[in-house]
Amino acid sequence: GQQLNQSPQSMFIQEGEDVSMNCTSSSIFNTWLWYKQEPGEGPVLLIALYKAGELTSNGRLTAQFGITRKDSFLNISASIPSDVGIYFCAGRSYPGAGSYQLTFGKGTKLSVIP
Amino acid sequence: DVKVTQSSRYLVKRTGEKVFLECVQDMDHENMFWYRQDPGLGLRLIYFSYDVKMKEKGDIPEGYSVSREKKERFSLILESASTNQTSMYLCASSPRGNQPQHFGDGTRLSIL
């Protein structure tokens, strides 16, 4: 099946630093999604990307849909303590077989040191 | 805002019990999903449904069944709970088409 490699697995950064994480796929996706999950909560949608090359921002967060359609990047600028959590990427090949389903990365655990 | 509500945040059951996890969404979404989340394994799809009374197996359906009698409600059933089903269970929903899934807050289930 489809596989998503998300990196890094975890990061410790100083408050105020910028953060980058990425996902790469073994196959082409038509949609990339980025979620954040805080301890004890469900994932919350941050950004949705639908076109190759698309660059979308949500406050201090910026995500890009890679030109090859096999990767996506999430950047967080000027990190703050409430950015702590696990960030997941998810991709979908749509339309197509199993097009309702998402393939998830294993997450990047972000820790911010005040 | 989309609201996906899972009936319990925490649940403790015994081995062999029949366990019901309930999920309700208020956005008239066609698609609903059940995942389990385990450390190091990420989110794994158990079952999903794209319409009332319709269900499809995900990646790990063994030991589980589902029920969707009404559009807004999707139930996950552990027929005979086992300790290896101790996990965080997440429900999600999405409208038809290429739209994101929205998640509930999860049910942390412990099987003793």
Q: Which of A76, A96, A108 is nearest to A31 (CA)?
A: A96
- Model confidence over B48-98: pLDDT tens digits? 999 999 999 999 999 999 999 999 999 999 999 999 999 999 999 999 888
A107 vs B42, B45, B100: nearest CB: B42
Report pLDDT for B66. Answer: 97
Q: Low-confidence residues of chain A, pLDDT below 70?
A: 1-2, 94-99
* Chain B residues near residue A101 by CB distance under 8 angstroms: 45, 48, 58
Report pLDDT for B40. Answer: 84
Report pLDDT for A93. Answer: 81
Q: Is beta strand B107-111 parallel, antiparallel or unpaired with respect to B10-13? A: parallel
State whether A104 and B100 contact (CB < 8 Å): no
Q: Is the pLDDT of residue B42 over 90?
A: no
CA distance B15 to chain A (A): 24
| Average pLDDT rounded to a whole number, residues B31-43 | 92
Q: Which of residues 20-39 of A touch B (CB under 8 A)?
A: 30-31, 33, 35
Report pLDDT for B10. Answer: 95
Report pLDDT for B70. Answer: 96
- Whether the bond between A95 and the residue before it is cis, its omega within 30 degrees of 0, is yes
**How does the average pLDDT of chain B come out, rounded?**
94
Q: Which of A66, A78, A1 is nearest to A32 (CA)?
A: A66
CA distance A15 to chain B (A): 26
Is the CB of residue A108 less than 8 Å from the CB of residue A86? Answer: yes
Q: Which of A54, A44, A48, A50 is nearest to A83 (CA)?
A: A44
| Average pLDDT rounded to a whole number, residues B35-58 | 92
State whether B40 and A92 contact (CB < 8 Å): no
* Chain A residues near residue B40 by CB distance under 8 angstroms: 106
State whether A43 and B59 contact (CB < 8 Å): no
Nearest CA in chain A to B9: A40
Q: Is the pLDDT of residue B14 over 80?
A: yes
Three-state DSSP at B83 gives: helix
Report pLDDT for A95. Answer: 64
